């Protein structure tokens, strides 16, 4: 997993918890399986959020898609 992937996963998980949204609710909103969200958040699976997911997440969390990205690049990418 790269640093940017981990950053995005952490941001989404943090916002999901902050807004009291379950993995099941998030999965339903993104039209993916609950196992997909579980796999992303467990960090053991190979599942990752894509740009379409990030766009939909910005609607759910009422923010900009760029809010899921770091302000500056992350060194090394891994």
17-37: pLDDT as tens digits: 999 999 999 999 999 999 999
pTM for the predicted model, two decimal places: 0.89
pLDDT, greater one: 33 or 74 = 33
For residue 46, give the 3-state DSSP assignment. Answer: coil
User: Which superfamily does 3-62 belong to?
Assistant: lambda repressor-like DNA-binding domains (1.10.260.40)
């Amino acid at each position: 997993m790269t640093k940017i992937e981990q950053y995005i996963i952490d941001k989404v998980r943090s916002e999901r918890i902050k807004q009291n949204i379950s993995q099941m609710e998030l999965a339903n909103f993104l039209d993916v399986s609950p196992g997909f969200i579980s796999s992303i958040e467990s960090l053991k699976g190979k599942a990752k959020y894509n740009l379409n997911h990030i766009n939909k997440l910005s609607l759910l969390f009422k923010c900009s898609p760029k809010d899921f990205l770091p302000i500056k690049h992350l060194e090394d990418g891994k």
